[in-house]
Amino acid sequence: MTYPAVRLKPKAEARAIRHGFPWVYADELVTDRRTQALAPGALAVLEDDLRRPLGLVTVNNASKIIARMLDRDPEAVIDEAWFAARLTRALAMRERLFSAPFYRLIHAEADGLPGVVIDRFGDTAVIQPNAAWAEAHLDALVAALVAVTGVTNVVKNGTGRARGLEGLTEETVILTGAVDAPIPVPMNGATYMADLMGGQKTGLFFDQRPNHAFAAALAKEARVLDMFTHVGGFALAALANGAVSAVGVDASAPALALAEEGAKASGLADRFSTRQGDAFAVLEALGTEQAQFELVICDPPAFAPNKPALEAGLRAYERLARLAAPLVAPGGYLVLCSCSHAADLSAFRNASARGIGRGGRRAQLLHTGFAGPDHPALLQLAESAYLKALFFRLDG
């Protein structure tokens, strides 16, 4: 095929692109009339400033990430077969790692599909096409997905901040098959209920699976407090592995209802309770009540989703640790999580340590967890390794 060409500015870092960095920012690309005339999601050959081809990219003039690398072959054809090759490669790894088909199948750039997330729930898949090019090629992607995996139901979850940055509208629709109820998902000995049509993100957070398991190992005979529990999060895994009780706290009543449904499906309802409210307010109230738990987990949404929010986000993480630490019984455990792209591990760990100290406690750092292997990281893209989980043992 013949594609238009777009060109890097002379001072742009072509070396980074050659070495695997997948993005070109708007101030790095020559945006002449021809480039500006390209429709969002259009395909083009990326050239360096000497007009040497670097690969096939997708272009969106409305986005700060103006170009995303699709294929190092500048003559690649983006069709159903191209999608099938990437899906087959991604599926092979997941099938080796997981005995049941519940996992993240495509983790965007790290799996060679920039801006695309696909989570699999048995015979149902949820696609988040968070970049304009994926929206433009959605039919081919869905056809390849069905052919490669054999799923019968496909949901498009077109919501979230990323789509807004690409100039895309929000919608959640069923593309093939039918989804008429929350789907039960087995993980770490518990059953979670995933609302694929109205829940957060794709309905469930697969990324925390190994951290749920590590926390569950600390939960034997423990009273557990799970802040930002969503649909049961850490709480259900802890109960399934020997916790004596668990309280799940979340601001969302629908999420808590799903958590309770999951507890019932897991046979854990008699040891599980929920509390709706703002997390900081609930932590303050529990402190006033002098509540104590052997295991406290805080898994909030991203407080620092971008660099401008970093300072305020780190203060929020510190405050969270300060309020949570006094609730941990002597010798108990505190788990603090961050899914903020902008807050790296060092900054998050330092903010957590400050908060624990301000909460009047001393701590040992036992373990640092990350996203599960179905969320691989692209080494050249720090944003793909976003999740951090710190496991502390607190003194008496």
What does the alpha-carbon distance between residue 265 and residue 143 come to, in Å, rounded to a whole number? 33
- Are residue 64 and residue 94 in the same domain, yes or no? no
Question: Residues 326-345: what's their mean pLDDT?
Answer: 97
Question: Residues 53-80: what's their mean pLDDT?
Answer: 96
pLDDT value at residue 198: 85
239 backbone dihedrals φ, ψ, rounded to 5°: -65, -40
**This prediction's pTM:** 0.95
- Residue 262: what residue type? G
- Are residue 106 and residue 200 in the same domain, yes or no? no
Through-space distance between the first and last CA atoms of the chain, rounded to whole angstroms: 68
For the chain, give percent helix, strand, coil, nearest 5.
35, 30, 35
For 345-358, how does the pLDDT look when each residue is reduced to its tens digit (9 = 90+)?
A: 999 999 999 999 99
- Are residue 209 and residue 316 in the same domain, yes or no? yes
Residue 239 pLDDT greater than 80, yes or no: yes
Which of 23, 52, 71 delimits the end of a domain?
71
CATH number at residue 309: 3.40.50.150
Residue 162 pLDDT greater than 90, yes or no: no
- Are residue 192 and residue 302 in the same domain, yes or no? yes
Which of 124, 149, 176 delimits the end of a domain?
176
For 204-228, how does the pLDDT look when each residue is reduced to its tens digit (9 = 90+)?
A: 999 999 999 999 999 999 999 999 9
Residue 160 pLDDT greater than 90, yes or no: no
Question: Residues 65-84: what's their mean pLDDT?
Answer: 97
The token pair at 229 is: 């529990």
> Own/partner pairs for 197-202, CB < 8 Å, 24+ apart?
197/155, 197/172, 198/172, 198/254, 199/231, 199/254, 199/255, 199/258, 200/230, 200/252, 200/255, 201/128, 201/157, 201/160, 202/117, 202/119, 202/126, 202/128, 202/157
pLDDT value at residue 11: 85
pLDDT value at residue 196: 96
Between 166 and 154, the higher pLDDT residue: 154
Which of 71, 93, 116 delimits the end of a domain?
71
The CA–CA distances, whole Å, from 204 to 43, 215, 244, 307 equal 32, 18, 25, 26
Q: What is the DSSP letter of 168?
A: P
Q: Tell me the longest C-alpha to C-alpha distance in the chain.
A: 69
The DSSP H or E segment spanning 307 is none
For 175-208, how does the pLDDT look when each residue is reduced to its tens digit (9 = 90+)?
A: 999 998 999 999 999 999 999 998 788 889 999 9
Return the percentage of the chain with pLDDT > 90, whole number. 92
pLDDT value at residue 22: 96
For 359-380, how does the pLDDT look when each residue is reduced to its tens digit (9 = 90+)?
A: 999 999 999 999 999 999 999 9
- Are residue 286 and residue 172 in the same domain, yes or no? no
- Are residue 113 and residue 234 in the same domain, yes or no? no
CATH number at residue 117: 3.30.750.80
- Are residue 219 and residue 356 in the same domain, yes or no? yes
- Are residue 139 and residue 260 in the same domain, yes or no? no
- Are residue 170 and residue 262 in the same domain, yes or no? no
pLDDT value at residue 173: 95
pLDDT value at residue 366: 98
Residue 268 pLDDT greater than 80, yes or no: yes
How many structural domains are present in the chain? 3
For 18-38, how does the pLDDT look when each residue is reduced to its tens digit (9 = 90+)?
A: 999 999 999 999 999 999 999
- Are residue 258 and residue 204 in the same domain, yes or no? yes
- Are residue 163 and residue 63 in the same domain, yes or no? no
- Are residue 362 and residue 334 in the same domain, yes or no? yes
What does the alpha-carbon distance between residue 284 and residue 265 come to, in Å, rounded to a whole number? 31
pLDDT value at residue 13: 81
Residue 1 pLDDT greater than 90, yes or no: no
Range of the domain at 20: 5-71
pLDDT value at residue 242: 98
Please provide the average confidence, as pLDDT, over all residues in the chain: 96
